[in-house]
Every structure is written in structure tokens, then in C-alpha cells.
Structure 1
Amino acid sequence: MNWSVSSTFDRYSVPKTQQQGLIDKLNNGVAWDSMSGASPVRTEASRVGASDVTIERYADGSVVVSTIDAVPENPDDPMPASISSCRLVSSSNYHANYKNCYGNVEFGVIQMGFHFDRNTVKGKVGTITRSYGMTHRIIGGALSNHRLTKFSGSRVRYSADLSVVVKGLPIGWTAWMEVRLGKGSAAWTVHN
């Protein structure tokens, strides 16, 4: 699959009139609203297959798309294995263990994600038992020094050093995305 900025824009319905403006901003070294700490003007949440998808839309047209594998509220409910990578390996009335779950964030020119195993306990905050298998893509730059940092049993961050050259000058910062677990089967991503 050919991955490009315009295909990402088209997939998430960024108006053509805003697409060129975003590309021009990037070429001139101006960060998109989605990369500058601005607040989104609209957030859309939906279930796509067996994944929870959140699209944050910003005033300049940029988008951030966060995807995380969902798990059923009831551990006895089957997950459609062909749709979700999150696989139930054991369960009881009060807890369930899942392997190969996936969290992902797309920033337009950057994509970052990783796999994780998790335990859920009814009425308690879940635990990430293992994090691994980082994935990434970038257009017009490089990601290096990839690392997974476990801040707590329910919070793991994937960080990488981003470097780009704008008008002949190198610039860089740390890009990151994080998976967080809540009570029961709740899970979501956050990002910078």
C-alpha cells in the first residue's frame, strides 16, 4: 500500500482546499495545529470492526487518528479474530488476559504504534503485562532512538526522536504516543 500525506487526508475527509495549505505549512517549517499543542475543534469517536477509533480534527484541517483494539465487556463474548489483533487467552467471571493488542496514532506525516498484552479485572484498572513490536512510518524525516517506557501498570509510552530538515536547517523533537488502561476493558491512546 502506498502511504502518502494526501492518501491520509483523503481517507479522513480533509477538504482538498485545506490539503495544499497543510503541505505548504509543512514545507515552510510551520507545525500543523495537530502537532503544535493546539486543541482539536472537533473529536469523533467510533467503533470500526473490533477497534475504537478517535479522530481529532483541528482548525487548519490537520487530523490525528488514534486506534486501539477493543476488548468485550464480558470476557466470555468472542472477539472477531479476523478484525482485531487482540486475542483472548484466558478468562473467568472477574478477569481476562489478552495478547497481541495494538494501539496506534497517525499524525498525518507520522504514524506510531505498538503491541501489548493486557489483563482486565472487573471493576479495577487493567494492567499492561508486556509491550513490544513498535511500528512507525514517517514522510520527510526520520525517527530514531525508539523506546517504550512503562510509567505504571496501566500506562506505556512509545517515544522516538524526530528529525526533519526544513529550508536546509535541521530541527527535531520527541514524538510520542501512549496507551492507557482504565477500569475493566477501558483503553485509549494519548499523544503529543
Structure 2
Amino acid sequence: MRWTMWWAMAAVLLLGGCAGMRLIESDVNSHSQWPSGRAPGSFHFERLPSQQAQAARQDAVEAAALPALQKAGFTLAAPGTTPEYAIQVASRLTRYDRAPWDDPYPWGWNTGLFYGGRYHRGASLGLSFYAPQPYYVQDVSVLIRDARTQRVLYETSARHDGRWADEAVRGTLFEAAMKDFPQPAISPRRVRIEIPR
């Protein structure tokens, strides 16, 4: 009885901790030609023709990247002023119906407990079948140029794969991509950031 109580308490604490935060792990690649002693400064967002054609979508991508850029010391230039830097940001999301670790036996070869799927019961036959949950791969990238010379000073990208694909995850990917700015860092490397659920 005592062991049962301890196991129950441990499960409650584990579930309680998992309920409040989620760990976003990203694979980050960064390459720097940042001049020694140079500080971040004002910038404007630069868009490719394809990004200009999808202005509303690119607005959302830039909004997700802005906090990470500000945290690194950049400030968005006021309209009509000349910025020091031109920054191009991009984001790509790919959705898969089944994760690589999902149960390959949809009729219940295992419980699905450790695979993240859900079981549903067929109303007419009374049978259980496995319904895998969506799986996402999300990439973001940041390219920083000297606005006057157009020289590339810093290039970084981050990738995350998992069950989540909301705006908080995209913002966290940009934060991970800029985490070591402006220093050159081991690439690729794993960056872990916790965010609220």
C-alpha cells in the first residue's frame, strides 16, 4: 500500500511538471562573419519576391522573429530612416499524418501509450483502432546583411520536429537560432528552450 501511494504521488508530480512547460529542442546551424567590436543596431526586414507575394504570411513570420532579434540587440528602424542592417527571415512548416515513432500496427499491436497516438472505438463493431496524431517539421532562418554594402554578416537556422506547430514554437525557433549571436558556434548543435504550454 505504501509503495502504491509513493508511485501515485510521483505520477502526479511528473504530470504536473509536464502540464506547465514544454521543452522545445532545436537543431541550430550558425555561420558568422561578424566584425569584431561591431554592435547590433537598427534594421529593416528584407523580403524576397516570393515573400512579397505572400505579404500577410511574411508579416506573421517577421512578427515571430522580432522578439529574438530585439533580444540580440537589434531595433526595428523607423519608417523613412536609414537602417544599419537588412535582415531576411524565413519559416517553413511541413505536416505529416504520422510520426516516425507512431504505432505501425493501427489495429492495436501495442497500447500506443509511448507513441503519442490515440485509440478510438468503432461504434458499430465495438473494435478499437489506432489514430496517429499529426507530426510537424518546422524550419526558420535568419540572414543579416550590412545594409550599405550588402555583405552577409551572419547566417543562422533552426529546425524542430514534434507534435506542436503553433506561433510560440516558431518564436522559440528564432530565439534558438539567435542564441549564440554574434559568436561562431559549433554547428550543428542542439538548443533546448522551455516555454509554457
Name the TM-score, length of structure 2 as normaliser: 0.29
Which has the bigger relative contact order, CA under 8 A and spacing at least 6? 2
Determine which structure has the larger strand proportion and give its number.
1
> Between Structure 1 and Structure 2, which shows a larger proportion of helix residues?
2
The structure that has the greater radius of gyration is 2
TM-score under structure 1 length normalisation: 0.29
